[in-house]
A and B are shown apart, each in its own frame.
Chain A
């Protein structure tokens, strides 16, 4: 773990501990729980998109699998929540393998197409309810609360701590991964597949692993969702959510796990703050963000905007010093240019 990441983690932890003092009201905490759930998904997606240069438009599908898996197993079959989560997770990873294996061997965006279809299929199946398990469009309730080490998660504050602790654990693991042999291999794939292969990197294998990890993280977030809300219906898991998740990752800068979390929180808070507006126009807003970010801030809003501001400041100070006679040499760094 590099110093920068370690400091980042400590700052984030301090921040997370302080927040409930100022935003203790359950509504705000609820928004932060959602931010945490989406952060889990977006960290996995960021790893896959930013480090493998691939895109998945089906994360909502994996999220739904986790939610329905946990929900159905606990509410209808009497599973304990944690074993249910594990079963849903394994099922999700197996399905992801089915989508990823054939498409990730090919060059190009076949996986984007396949995941797009996959997400829609999951949604349609949950909606149509062919096996009498999902409750159709109106969903089903009666999903029990989750307990951690004997502590029932029965209020917003506990959920807040639990979800963000999970985010921190995953963030820690992923930061380790990114700065390791495997992380370098993943980044090399983004840097250039042919060269990566020639350096002995099994490109298809690593892409598949990163994809499975992203699916697994979405599934875990989905399981938490089911226990948090206590009710599951298909509507939240539509294609729009998949696009929304991609937008969150892109806002933060695709190759940056910190950015993924920041982008997720920002967009979740914004969406919640302008809820009535976003109900109708969220997709339009997502599209607009994607275009603007891609055009202006390829490194993500935070890093990209910081660099733009730094460049502006540098230019302003350069102009100012040029007006003062004799001071321009130091700002251009070239004595001959001044004379």
Chain B
């Protein structure tokens, strides 16, 4: 499989705080890759850099072989990277359907003047936009909530609406920031199946997640970060046994006890 995303010695400082420290990794096209690590490991910072919201202090991000680290976020979205947000950022002033329709923005064309006069072509595009958005709401199971105000959706459904909105931009690479946080066990399982379905649609998915059962269940590859550095990378089974990972997640003592036993 070919590489779709490549991070090369990424570094990000916030004042004196180092959020990412010389981080390099690759994502292969068509895989589900998870990024795990304790709070403050730099996971969300990494997403913010890939999606163009932050610029890295140094290092490069290559998407489909081209440098994207210095591009503004709306251009990166157009190139085929989309994302959801850990702290839900649906447009509260719009309906669920309208939220997803905003996601069609980079794939539609009607501009200022044509919108004002509303030529027939405008109406056609509007219909297609609404139809595409409805199909995505179907996919994530929110078809019945299309006309609700986004802010009134329960937490779990807001996560799904964000995924639908992100998919509406037709991303090649989808970044999901803690898609299962705040979900119950059943909802988490559903989210896992949805993520696999999205992968089966030919998209690459990069997931930041704390829920280990979800991560281990769906990922082809897992990247473990701690203090902005890569401490392990590989298939879930290998990563689970990695001594550094055990140390970070379970503490020094547990790690020593485990190695003493074996």
Contacts and interface: CB of A to CB of B under 8 A. Distances in A.
B115 A181 contact: yes
Interface residues on B, range: 35 or more
B112 A177 contact: yes
Closest 3 CB pairs of A and B: A191-B91, A200-B106, A200-B77
A65 interface: no
Interface stretch (A93-101, A182-190, A243-251): A182-190
Contacts of B165: 199
Contact of A184 (B77, B98, B117): B98
B51 A198 contact: yes
A329 interface: no
A211 B115 CA distance: 16
B115 A201 contact: no
Interface centre among B51, B116, B166 (most CB of A within 10 A): B116
B74 to A, nearest CB: 5
Interface in A185-223: 185, 187-188, 190-192, 194-203, 209
Given A181-B108, A181-B125, A184-B94, A198 B115 contact: no
Contact of A181 (B85, B110, B169): B110
Nearest to A53: B93
B129 interface: yes
Interface centre among B108, B115, B122, B125 (most CB of A within 10 A): B115
Interface string B100-127: 0111111010111001111000100110
A194 B52 CA distance: 10
Contact of A200 (B53, B91, B115, B169): B169
Interface in B59-75: 72-74
Contact of B116 (A173, A191, A201): A173
B82 interface: yes
30 contacts: A1-B118, A173-B117, A176-B117, A180-B126, A181-B104, A181-B129, A182-B111, A182-B112, A182-B115, A183-B115, A184-B101, A185-B105, A187-B93, A187-B94, A192-B89, A192-B92, A195-B91, A197-B73, A197-B74, A198-B51, A198-B73, A199-B103, A199-B106, A199-B168, A200-B77, A200-B78, A200-B105, A202-B74, A209-B112, A255-B93
Contacts of B108: 181
Contacts of A1: 118
B127 to A, nearest CB: 12
Contacts of B93: 187, 190-191, 255
Contacts of B73: 194, 197-198
A192 B115 CA distance: 22
A262 B129 CA distance: 32
Contacts of A192: 89-92
Contacts of B203: none
Interface centre among B77, B106, B165 (most CB of A within 10 A): B77
B83 interface: yes
Contacts of B166: 198-199
A192 B85 CA distance: 12
Contact of B118 (A180, A188, A198, A201): A180
Contacts of A182: 110-112, 115
B146 to A, nearest CB: 15
A194 B44 CA distance: 14
A177 B115 contact: yes
B102 A199 contact: yes
